[in-house]
Amino acid sequence: MVSPSNKRKSRICSSVLNRCNVISCIFLATGYLTLTIDSVAAQIIIPSNNGLIGIDLDGNGTIDVPTGVTVDGPPEFTPEQGIEIETNLQPTPNVPTSPAPGLVTSYPQNRVPPRELSQRIAKVDEDLTTSYQYYIGELEEETSEVSLAQIQQDLTKIEEEAGIKPAVIYAVFYPSEATLNSGQVGFFPQPDDELELILVTAKGDAVRRRIKGTDRAQVTAAANRFSDSVFYGLPEEKYLPPSQQLYQWLIEPLREELKAREIENLVFILDSGIRSLPLAALHDGEEYLIEKYSVGMIPSFRLTNTKYQDIRDVEILAMGADNFADPELSPLPAVPTELDIIAQSLWEGESFLNEDFTVENLQQTQTNQPFGILHLATHAEFLPGKPSNSFIQFGDRKLGIDEVRQLGLNNPLVQLIVLSACNTAVGDRDAEYGFASLAYQAGVKSALGSLWYVSDSGTLSLMSQFYRELKSSPIKAEALRQAQLSLLNEEVRLEKGKLIVEDVTFDLPAEITELDIDLTHPRYWSAFTIIGNPW
Is residue 256 pLDDT above 70, yes or no?
A: yes
Determine how β-strand 265-270 pairs with β-strand 206-211.
Answer: unpaired
pLDDT tens track for 459-480: 999 999 999 999 999 999 999 9
Q: Which residues have a Cβ under 8 Å from the Cβ of 384 and sit 6 or more positions away?
A: 425, 428, 430, 431
Distance CA 220, CA 256 (A): 25
Helix (H, G, I), strand (E, B) or coil at 167: strand
pLDDT tens track for 153-192: 999 999 999 999 999 999 999 988 777 777 665 557 788 9
**pLDDT score at 104:** 37
Read off the pTM: 0.80
DSSP 269-306: EE-TTSTT--GGG-B-SSSBGGGT-EEEE-S-STT---
**pLDDT score at 424:** 82
Contact 350, 392 (CB under 8 A): no
3-state secondary structure 386-432: CHHHCEEECCCCEEEHHHHHHHCCECCECCEEEEEEEEECCCCHHHH
In this prediction, residue 35 has a pLDDT band, given cuts at 50, 70 and 90, of: very low
Distance CA 405, CA 441 (A): 6
Distance CA 477, CA 463 (A): 13
For each of the domains in the chain, give its residue range(s) and CATH number, in order of start: 15-86 (no CATH), 103-297 (no CATH), 316-532 (3.40.50)
| Burial of 59 (C-beta count, 10 Å sphere; 0-12/13-18/19+) | exposed
**pLDDT score at 266:** 99
pLDDT tens track for 42-66: 333 333 333 333 333 333 333 333 3
